[in-house]
């Protein structure tokens, strides 16, 4: 468990809490939000604290958690920010040249990848491991990419199914104007350079007039690191990756052992 930052926040001033989905809100074991987390979010809302989703998932893949009445959604790792009323506050797509280069590369080399846009998700070359990954996330396998008729102008995020050892060279060679982040050993999320969940938090803080010193976030994967480092109080789940725990202000219990509720009670944000 890490020490709090020297300028640690007055937890009585917390006005917004941001939650990753997979491994933070949604259990990999049950594919459900723990009852204790549902209760914690309800109490936060009653106290007038804003609650937001902050995920690498597409906006099309979060319908099953909207019942918790979040105030807004940071999706595609910050590339698409939308309020619960449906107002799009921010949208940034991958450089079309990078998307075209990805398609060209896959046309000549074995590579599995997926592309995500406002209109849906599409995948190229589904292996048994990839099918198993979608089952692990309780998501359907997307339809296949039409390589000859892909809208390269409006891709919000990609996933490249390569190892971490191959990632840096691939990005430098094929998608130099994009950035990769990883929360699974099987694949990396690909977003526009400079894009991260931090950007999404900045968007919503500006929209709601909230200072970053009044923010808190929960996460477990590599794509949560910028978010946890940026907010005033960054919480790693007990089931988080080691590198996430290393940079967090506090490490709570596992998702399946009431980690979110315990952390909020630990800091006196809820009773």
Residue 15 to residue 208: CA distance in whole angstroms: 10
Q: Is residue 270 within 8 Å of residue 264, measured between CB atoms?
A: yes
Closest Cα to residue 128, out of 145, 141, 116, 137? 141
CB-based burial of residue 153 (10 Å sphere; 0-12 exposed, 13-18 middle, 19+ buried)? Answer: exposed
Q: What is the DSSP string of 138-196?
A: T-PPPPBP-TTS--TTS--EEEE---HHHHHHHHHHH-TTEEEEEEETTEEEEEETT--
Q: Is 20 a catalytic residue?
A: yes
Torsion angle of alpha carbons 185, 110, 140, 17, nearest 10°?
Answer: 40
Per-residue tokens: 66: 């909207």
Of 7, 13, 20, 104, the active-site residue reads 20
- First-residue to last-residue Cα distance in the chain: 22
| Catalytic positions | 20
């Amino acid at each position: 468990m890490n020490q709090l930052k020297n300028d640690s926040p007055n937890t009585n001033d917390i006005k917004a809490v941001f939650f990753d989905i997979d491994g933070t809100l949604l259990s990999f074991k049950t594919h459900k939000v723990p009852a204790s987390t549902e209760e914690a979010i309800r109490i936060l809302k009653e106290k007038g604290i804003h609650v937001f989703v902050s995920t690498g998932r597409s906006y099309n893949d979060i319908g099953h958690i909207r019942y918790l009445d979040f105030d807004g959604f940071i999706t595609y790792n910050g590339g698409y920010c939308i309020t619960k009323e449906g107002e799009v506050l921010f949208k940034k797509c991958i450089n079309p040249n990078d998307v075209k280069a990805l398609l060209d590369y896959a046309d000549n080399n074995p590579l599995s990848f997926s592309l995500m846009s406002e209109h849906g998700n599409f995948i190229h070359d589904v292996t048994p491991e990839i099918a198993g990954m979608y089952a692990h996330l309780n998501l359907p396998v997307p339809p296949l990419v039409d390589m000859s008729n892909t809208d390269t102008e409006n891709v919000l995020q990609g996933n490249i199914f390569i190892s971490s050892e191959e990632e840096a060279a691939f990005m430098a060679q094929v998608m130099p104007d994009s950035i990769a982040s990883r929360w699974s050993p099987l694949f990396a999320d690909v977003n526009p350079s400079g894009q991260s969940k931090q950007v999404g938090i900045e968007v919503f803080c500006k929209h709601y007039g909230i200072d970053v010193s009044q923010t808190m976030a929960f996460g477990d994967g590599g794509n949560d690191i910028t978010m946890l480092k940026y907010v005033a109080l960054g919480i790693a789940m007990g089931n988080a990756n080691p590198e996430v725990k290393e940079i967090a202000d506090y490490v709570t219990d596992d998702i399946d052992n009431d980690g979110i509720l315990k952390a909020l009670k630990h800091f006196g944000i809820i009773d």
